[in-house]
Amino acid sequence: MSNSEMNISEMLAEQVQRLFSARIDRDTWVHAEDGELDSDLWQEIEAMGITLALSDENAGGAGLNWADSEPVLRLCGVHAAPVPIGETTIAAWALSRAGLEVPEGVLAISGEIFQLDAQGRLQGQDAQLSWLPVAGHVLVAALREGVTHLCLVSADAGRQQAIDTLDRLPCASMELENVIPLQTAEAPFLDELGLRPHLAALRSMQMAGALARVLDLCVEYANTRVQFDKPIGKFQAIQQMVAELASQAAAAQVAGLYAARQVDAGNASYGAAVAKSLVGRAATRAAAIAHQVFGAIGVTDEHSLHYYTRRLWQWRSEGGSEHWWSERIGRKVLAKDGAHLWQQLTAPIGA
Amino acid sequence: MTSPFSFKPLQLPSSLEPLRLEARAFLAEAAKDWSGWKVGHSWTGFDRDFSREVGKRGWIGMTWPKAYGGHERSGLERYVVVEEMLAVGAPLGAHWFGDRQSGPLLLRLGTEAQRQRFLPLIARGEASFCIGLSEPDSGSDLASLRSRATRVEGGWRLNGRKVWTTNAHLCDFMIGLFRSGGQADTEKHKGLSQFLIDMSASGIEVRPIHDLTGEAHFNEVTFDNVFVPDDMLVGREGDGWAQASGELAFERSQPDRYMSAFPLLPLTIDALREAGTDDRLASRRLGEAVAELAVLREMSLSIVGQLQDGHSPAKEAALVKDLGNLHEQRMPDLVRELLDCPSSIVAADRLSELQAFLVQNVPSFSLRGGTREILRGIIAKGLGLK
Ligand SMILES: Cc1cc2nc3c(=O)[nH]c(=O)nc-3n(C[C@H](O)[C@H](O)[C@H](O)COP(=O)(O)OP(=O)(O)OC[C@H]3O[C@@H](n4cnc5c(N)ncnc54)[C@H](O)[C@@H]3O)c2cc1C
């Protein structure tokens, strides 16, 4: 990473942090959970070029790699940003890598694999596509004769049906039948899992951010809530729980960045598997701890904690659950003899 | 909000691969006849011959100056060798404490004469060190210790009792923390000093303490007017508390804080393959363990990098030890979940012996080097809990 890149990535993270702090609050969340995209906020985001961070410079992007962009994607979780920055950023990255044009507006990405027939028509379905109801376009990975392709379709190209999720953000199922994509290109940088690893990496980074905020909320609350004449943070039982939460949050942060580094090195599936397996389980434990620390107020609608814990519960299932990814790692490990495990763990990133 | 943690990634350069392969080849040969029981001991296992072999290859004191018998190699080269050793459960105990803890302490704070005398011995695998901190009434509350060092002509007289001293019965030297002034009740952190103690000195008695496996690794060490000459004071008189705390920082977060049970996994994989068990539960549980290992290793590497850059990420190191201990303590139970382990210990069966040893040993993982509760207290304070 050169110095100038470092500066761009740090500058971008700072800008995003300022924007989110100023623009995201409870009203923004409530609005989004009513199914609306905050179009003013979205326009500001597009104007700042945030969603093009990963795209090639000749496609108008900043040309950052995934590791450089990790702070921004994590910030989306820190603020529970109710805007599809991550999805749009990844879609734009994949499009520009495949030499395709990046359209304006919200882009959704599917973690499923579709089929592309000899006539160039798409078939397949995704039972749950985040942000589809407010997206202009959807990027899907599709197989044609064993080769992975990327296809861009209009968001209204297929049948869609709104579905309910724990985070209550706009979401729908999508079914494509003989749809001719707007753009298609081979995508040799994707493996047989298509965009699922990238979606899983994104969710891992967002969860790491949400966990950091949950930790922050817990520390603040423990230092102010008084019972038995002292802040509850003085009680060892609370300190021990919060420390455990901190361990989970720290591991999640490292795991999210690890996934990003593996994507950069061309090993997206392994990086995503490691990250999603760990972060999904971290989210489960951490959410339980956080609600315990907050007592009754934490489970009320009025309190902001649930905007984070509901997202954690939602995101741990998206892009492949922690169990799905763990099983995949396990199957790979069991395919070779025991001695191979240590070789795999010590292999350089990308191998 | 910026991150509450610092975990800048460190990527091991590929130039380290030849060293890794060299260590791996050496270990593959050496480990051929190790029993599961021996493998389970890993870094506490005491095998002087093995340590001498390791010393000959230049793998002890790797980062120390050549003038002191070291090899002036990088911390990353050392990391690679250490993790290769732990991956096979090599018996490091005869040199590990000197290499990890006592040597670096002397390098930092010892006198020139101390360095010249002890460091080359450690590096050759000839001198073993034990750590004399704990006492019967001072465990977690280490600063409350009462063993005394009294000034006498030309040196000090030591009196008192150390306990849980790993391998004291086999070691040549101890670095012991004693109260050289001040009162345990009123001035806890003041007046503690560290001494380099020759374990063959008269007045020292080492009594084994049998542990629940039936073996005796740790000991009670009593000091009855043991004379220590002036030049065996380590660092400054009265600075022992800060020195010992700094020394503990070397101990936390290293790969030995999450790899103690690692050798179980390859054996489990082979057993599952042999049994033809290809079920989803086994895959999921193994996958979880592998994901944890991958992330723990990234965290541990990051801390090595930060220490090399001159930072002291205390909170992060405590986090890694806590997570690492949880991981390594779970491993024997994972084996019980996935394999039909017999309720007896099958002689000469590596997996069975290793499993049996670890089931009984894992409780100690979150005690040694600071208990889980003490570490979580450090983390909570580091986060600003009042
Ligand atoms: C295998 C093994 C090897 C060891 N080797 C060495 C060695 O070589 N040299 C050496 O000096 N020591 C050694 N030790 C000792 C080890 O460092 C101590 O066991 C450890 O520091 C805990 O002290 P303790 O056993 O006296 O437990 P205690 O301090 O009595 O603690 C008992 C329980 O109370 C908890 N507790 C205590 N204080 C607090 C608090 N303030 N808040 C919350 N909980 C608390 C502890 O976490 C623990 O759960 C070894 C221990 C083991 C198990």
Same domain? For A174 and A295 the reply is no
Output the CA B140–ligand 1 centroid distance in Å: 5
Count structural domains, chain B.
3
Q: Determine, yes or no, domain membership for A163.
A: yes
Residue of B46, B371, B372, B379 to mutate, ligand 1, most atoms within 8 A of C-beta: B371
Contact B4 A339 (CB under 8 A): no
Last residue of a domain, one of B211, B243, B275: B243
Last residue of a domain, one of A147, A167, A186: A186
CATH of the domain at B225: 2.40.110.10
Last residue of a domain, one of B222, B243, B264: B243
Query: How far away is chain A from the Cα of B197, in angstroms, using its nearest Cα?
Result: 37
Last residue of a domain, one of A140, A156, A186: A186
Confidence band of B248 (pLDDT split at 50, 70, 90): confident
B residues 72-111 lying closer than 8 A (beta carbon) to A: 83, 87
Supply the pLDDT for residue B369.
86
Domain that holds residue B285: 252-383
Give the tens place of pLDDT for each residue, A327-351.
999 999 999 999 999 999 999 998 8
Task: Answer yes or no: is pLDDT of B1 > 70.
Answer: no
Mean pLDDT, rounded, of chain B: 94
Give the tens place of pLDDT for each residue, A168-193.
999 999 999 999 999 999 999 999 99
Six token digits for residue A20: 């989110």
B95 lines ligand 1 (CB under 6 A): no
Same domain? For A225 and A126 the reply is no
Same domain? For A154 and A215 the reply is no
Contact B322 A240 (CB under 8 A): no
Six token digits for residue B385: 């809990």
Over range B201-208, report the average pLDDT. Answer: 98
Confidence band of B253 (pLDDT split at 50, 70, 90): low
What's the rounded Cα separation, in Å, for the pair B120 and B309? Answer: 26
Output the CA A247–ligand 1 centroid distance in Å: 21
Q: A183-187, A296-300, B123-127, B382-386: which range is least confident on average?
A: B382-386
Count structural domains, chain A.
2
Q: Determine, yes or no, domain membership for A3.
A: no
Last residue of a domain, one of A153, A186, A219: A186
Output the CA A89–ligand 1 centroid distance in Å: 50
Query: How far away is chain B from the Cα of A278, in angstroms, using its nearest Cα?
Result: 6
Supply the pLDDT for residue A57.
87
CATH of the domain at A45: 2.40.110.10
Short-list A217, A214, A140, CA closest to A184: A140
Give the tens place of pLDDT for each residue, B26-85.
999 999 999 999 999 999 999 999 999 999 999 999 999 999 999 999 999 999 999 999
Q: Which atom of ligand 1 is nearest to the CA of B364?
A: 53
What's the rounded Cα separation, in Å, for the pair B285 and B138? Answer: 39
Same domain? For B296 and B373 the reply is yes
Six token digits for residue B65: 């100056």
Residue of B42, B140, B252 to mutate, ligand 1, most atoms within 8 A of C-beta: B140
Write the residue in A219, A254, A325 that is nearest to B383 by C-beta. A219
Q: Determine, yes or no, domain membership for B154.
A: yes
Give the tens place of pLDDT for each residue, A204-224.
999 999 999 999 999 999 999
Same domain? For B316 and B335 the reply is yes
CATH of the domain at B316: 1.20.140.10
CATH of the domain at A202: 1.20.140.10
Residue nearest to atom 13 of ligand 1 (CA): B164
Q: Determine, yes or no, domain membership for A2.
A: no
Q: Determine, yes or no, domain membership for B219.
A: yes
Q: A281-295, A322-336, B180-194, B336-350: which range is least confident on average?
A: B180-194
Q: How much of chain A exceeds pLDDT 70, in percent?
A: 98
Same domain? For B352 and B365 the reply is yes
Last residue of a domain, one of B84, B102, B127: B127
What's the longest Cα–Cα distance across chain B? 72
Residue nearest to atom 35 of ligand 1 (CA): B373
Task: Answer yes or no: is pLDDT of B100 > 50.
Answer: yes
B147 lines ligand 1 (CB under 6 A): no
Residue nearest to atom 40 of ligand 1 (CA): B374
Same domain? For A166 and A216 the reply is no
Are the C-beta atoms of B189 and B241 separated by less than 8 Å?
yes
Q: What is the dihedral of CA B55, B60, B65, B66, to 10 degrees?
A: 10
CATH of the domain at B75: 1.10.540.10
Domain that holds residue A119: 8-186
Residue A28 falls in which region: left (phi positive, over 0), alpha (psi -120 to 50) or beta: alpha
Write the residue in A213, A278, A337 that is nearest to B1 by C-beta. A213
Inform me whether the C-beta atom of residue B319 falls under 8 Å from chain A C-beta atoms. Answer: yes
Query: How far away is chain B from the Cα of A223, in angstroms, using its nearest Cα?
Result: 6
